[in-house]
Amino acid sequence: MKKVILASVFTFVGLTAFAQESDTAMNTETVVVVATQDSFTEVANDQLPEAVTAAVGKNYPTASIDKSYVNDKEQYKLEVSLEDGTAGTVYADKEGNWLDM
């Protein structure tokens, strides 16, 4: 009888620990979703540094900058579209160097 009670207690503790891990995983997932959102703020295209606009013109001569964003590290996120209809997002620092993000 002691073994049955002891096995029941271990099973209950095991299931409780599993439920806590699952709950923690859900909280971690929520934090990860928040952490993956970028901290860029939209800026007007005329506020971009000359080096950034020059880099776009040099590397993507048919591109137009649709929207531009900046973060606190002075990194720029640019939504660009080409004449052929393709669009994409590129990242650059304030010196016009391309970033992998």
Q: Are residues 32 and 48 in the same domain?
A: no
Quote the mean pLDDT of the chain. Answer: 77
Average pLDDT on 13-42 reads 52
What domain range includes position 89? 41-99
Same domain, 31 and 76: no
Residue 21 has pLDDT above 50, yes or no: no
pLDDT, position 1: 52
Number of domains present in the structure of the chain: 2
CATH number reported for the structural domain that contains residue 89 in this entry: 3.40.1420.30
48 shares its domain with 71: yes
Query: Is 68 within 8 Å of 59 (Cβ atoms)?
Result: no
Three-state SS at 1? coil
User: How far is Cα 50 from Cα 24, in angstroms, rounded to an integer?
Assistant: 47
Query: How much is the pTM?
Result: 0.61
